[in-house]
Structure 1
């Protein structure tokens, strides 16, 4: 570190925080500085860590969360006191719900002012405790390494999530003569106990129609490989939550019944309804409420996870295999022979594939100069190679994508279905482009969600992010609209005005393209693939068929048609 002319040689708490972050392997931090935290940003300037100024604190956490999901290492956001920290709340809640490791560090007034009514005083530790796994304040410089290290461990261990550390301004300035602790490796879990694995294996052997349900943690690279071996070895039918996208490889498509979530009306729901045993791997009920898919209270469920299940009236596992998911899954399938598929499960899987093909074949916009959602999906998949990462925002468009767009690489798709947070798509895209700068990223949002984080388009331009951002334009909060219409026969407070997104993109320094046909979309995606830096493509979408997304589940034994 090069000493500045007026800098003391003593190590401050701010310096020690940075040294711990470096020791932990942190390469980027995202945030917005301010007077109460500026000493920490100054220390970062003299480190190996790249500091990236965001345009909103919430988006800084979104970017950090995307980085955490892709790498498995905590992304870091640093912001100033008061509203700077309160703006973190949604991002931290999203990270904890989705299982994304994040460390947020927030400034605070000096310790003498913490309980006074003074400028930007706020009990942020208490405020953020409900949405994090760990929330603490560094009340003495000697505790700096301890608290930063424990926060990182909490964020990354078990089912990952968010951690928050408050740093009073005076503590950051004080000498901290302590060692770095963040070099300590987290303890590794072994497989679940062998007797429990044997019990689960016996239950599976007794079952005639077991179905595998994959959740968020099944889609990490190490777990996905073990899951694929398990599915191939047993021959079982398998379904996944939206967040499990990428866990299944292309060769296993004949056993895959699609992704499920939100509405109980998919072929995967048929499979779960028919199953006489469910094997849940890395599944968190927040991904898809058990009460929606588990209508057989006496049916055994085997839960494979890193933490015990939160017991629910509709989710009370018969057998819990708690430990390293990959190791446990491999130990389990060694004790389970080939199972295969019954004729009725096979029929559901065949219907799923046939219905998907038919839906694509018949998809056509009901209006001129607009595209049907499946016309967009069909065009998009022509450009989604194995090395392209996809980042989906929240909206009715993400249901079409989750149900119809396949991906065969672990964590190839980043998608939210926990807090269902709008605005995550573009920040996650920025994160993905930082992890793999040479690989193209495609992020997707609706026009409502895009405007919740659109200011970060300038950040993407500044970083020369190698991404294409698609905006599905319909001038409504459409996912709310279709549910209001179903419940009340009309919509309320869901419409908003038009924006020329091509011009908006250009004003931020990005390339912008508006499209109203399939040919224009193909041409625009080709331009995006060949362009260095961000490209925004705004697509006029016809959501006439969105009402079909919520069609009730047909009676079993009849047609399994559930969506357009």
Structure 2
């Protein structure tokens, strides 16, 4: 079906021509499912994740005749989390698929994950026949309506002739700023119909505009006049390929910076200007610098993240530098905005202010004490291990370009505060939807995108068990992956919140399986850490051995109160949130 593609092309990740397996189909007509998969190839798709069903068997069969690698997962959530992480790491939309009804509904949490997290994703669901059906309303759910508030667009394909334009537009919408998920529904009778072999539409690569000169002048004036400026690196600053421009801006202006949880690594934490991470909304040690700043330059901040600070109109001003205009909220209302291509706008801004900022380092004297307090007790030898020691040992075991993928739990705050990143997108966490169950699938996708790197999934025992069945998928894929389970036999975040509010602990504990045996039952290796010095060698051995390994470590979460409540309360006068 060479005529479908118009011409031979190179896939976006450097593969061979995308139409090779379709060349034998040279008729003037083709099944709509084949046209759909050929359109995916034309977009450069090399892998698709999903679960088969009766209503998408023609789509599955079309994948069989394509160059796209089909990854069958054990749950639709895993498929979509993996595809979203592909989008997060590459900047190009990942692809997942499911059948109708219950299969489609299992994509709703990952859809919200990608929407709030700004991850490009194309989700394809099946549906019963729409022209006629002898099954009544069996398994019938209005998936279009369900997905509409969870996606950038949700559309049904009603005839095969519309496939080229609908697929092209789905990828265009998913990948443009702000990136996110797009849903396409392909009913089984539409997928099976015969259509003309239509030419596909060429990809159009868009370039973000730069801000007007007067806006750059206004931003420069704010920075030059500031007595205590501070940079904040947010979630949208972690886009692929943006790290170099950000780092260059920091080097040129020499203003201290901190990052939000999802902005970690966009500028190296090894910089002598790094002030820490805002893992809490207020009253952490880094907030000493935030509270003293009279201007915060918020680069790539997205208000879907839990607020890194609460704005006070009577004190600091905020300059918003983003791909898109700021979302004005009760806690975020910038005084000025610089909208467009972040990298190019920062370069133009640096041209205006470089060498003109005698007070750029006004807050830098706070740095040493902030970082020392955050790292306090990181090498304690008590067992079970403290969260600080776990983060310390993981950092020791991971190379600089190793990727750590966090599930969601109280340990995420400790990794956000304490884990130092030197390379962009090497600490993947979700501080937007903050869903449990995404850590393992995210790490599996990262291991596929970067097979040359060490990849570690860090999960609480609660979050791990939500998608533990896909250990089998990881083994079947033949990837190298280490999974660290932090065990406290309960929902640690909820226990902490109950303690902060003065409530008795209730309804947040559970039992656990033997994780070593669970790993071995799936075909992986399982190891439990039994002493204070056992975590680093367990991780190192697991990485050296290759394959899939599960390492379990018990945690002493009394530090949640000792540090995150009592110490911050004593030092700052109020409780942290």
Q: Do both share a fold (TM > 0.5)?
A: yes
Q: Tell me: CA distance 1:235–1:340, structure 2 relative to 1, closer, same or farther (3 Å).
A: farther
Structure-to-structure mapping, 1:96-111, within 5 angstroms: 96-111=115-130
Map of 1:256 onto structure 2 = 274
1:383 aligns with 2:397: yes
- Aligned counterpart for 1:321 among listed residues 330, 338, 345: 338
Q: Tell me: CA distance 1:76–1:342, structure 2 relative to 1, closer, same or farther (3 Å).
A: closer
Q: Tell me: CA distance 1:237–1:65, structure 2 relative to 1, closer, same or farther (3 Å).
A: same
Shift of 1:115: 13
Q: Deviations over 1:358-381 (max 9, x none)?
A: 3325x343xx5x211122122111
Shift of 1:438: 2.5
1:453 aligns with 2:467: yes
Q: Deviations over 1:44-82 (max 9, x none)?
A: 011111000011101111011111111111111011111
Q: Tell me: CA distance 1:183–1:509, structure 2 relative to 1, closer, same or farther (3 Å).
A: farther
What RMSD, in angstroms, separates the aligned Cα atoms of the two structures? 2.6
Residue 197 of structure 1 aligns to a residue whose secondary structure is helix
1:374 aligns with 2:354: no
Aligned residues of 1:218 and 1:244 also touching (Cα < 8 A): yes
- Aligned counterpart for 2:513 among listed residues 488, 496, 499: 499
CA distance in 1, matches of 2:278, 2:240: 21
Structure-to-structure mapping, 1:126-525, within 5 angstroms: 126-177=145-196, 179-181=198-200, 183-252=202-271, 254-289=272-307, 292-296=309-313, 299-338=316-355, 339=357, 345-361=363-379, 363-365=380-382, 368=383, 370-525=384-539
Q: Tell me: CA distance 1:181–1:81, structure 2 relative to 1, closer, same or farther (3 Å).
A: same
Aligned residues of 2:456 and 2:484 also touching (Cα < 8 A): yes
1:535 aligns with 2:549: yes
Deviates further, 44-53 or 525-534: 525-534
What are the ranges of 5 or more consecutive residues in structure 2 without an aligned counterpart? Answer: 1-19
Q: Deviations over 1:307-346 (max 9, x none)?
A: 1111113322221111111111111111112436577622
Aligned residues of 2:279 and 2:417 also touching (Cα < 8 A): no
Shift of 1:466: 0.9
Shift of 1:214: 1.0
Residue 553 of structure 2 aligns to a residue whose secondary structure is strand
CA distance in 1, matches of 2:560, 2:132: 53
CA distance in 2, matches of 1:459, 1:7: 36
Q: Tell me: CA distance 1:265–1:122, structure 2 relative to 1, closer, same or farther (3 Å).
A: same
Deviates further, 181-190 or 309-318: 181-190
CA distance in 2, matches of 1:412, 1:171: 42
Shift of 1:184: 1.4
Aligned residues of 1:257 and 1:349 also touching (Cα < 8 A): yes
Aligned residues of 1:237 and 1:255 also touching (Cα < 8 A): yes
Q: Deviations over 1:7-28 (max 9, x none)?
A: 9873222111111111111111
Q: Deviations over 1:490-525 (max 9, x none)?
A: 122110002210110000000111112233222211
Q: Tell me: CA distance 1:115–1:135, structure 2 relative to 1, closer, same or farther (3 Å).
A: farther
Structure-to-structure mapping, 1:115-134, within 5 angstroms: 118-134=137-153
CA distance in 1, matches of 2:574, 2:497: 20
CA distance in 1, matches of 2:195, 2:471: 38
Residue 285 of structure 1 aligns to a residue whose secondary structure is coil
Map of 2:29 onto structure 1 = 10
Shift of 1:261: 3.2
Residue 359 of structure 1 aligns to a residue whose secondary structure is coil
Q: Tell me: CA distance 1:320–1:179, structure 2 relative to 1, closer, same or farther (3 Å).
A: farther
Shift of 1:222: 2.4
Q: Tell me: CA distance 1:202–1:498, structure 2 relative to 1, closer, same or farther (3 Å).
A: same
Shift of 1:116: 8.8
Q: Tell me: CA distance 1:113–1:4, structure 2 relative to 1, closer, same or farther (3 Å).
A: farther
1:79 aligns with 2:98: yes
Shift of 1:432: 0.7
Q: Deviations over 1:200-243 (max 9, x none)?
A: 11111111111111111212242221111111111111111111
1:551 aligns with 2:565: yes
Q: Tell me: CA distance 1:553–1:348, structure 2 relative to 1, closer, same or farther (3 Å).
A: farther
Q: List 4+ stretches of structure 1 deviating above 4 A.
A: 1-9, 113-117, 340-344, 552-556, 558-563
Residue 465 of structure 2 aligns to a residue whose secondary structure is helix
Aligned residues of 2:374 and 2:417 also touching (Cα < 8 A): no
Aligned residues of 1:548 and 1:562 also touching (Cα < 8 A): no
- Aligned counterpart for 1:64 among listed residues 83, 87, 94: 83
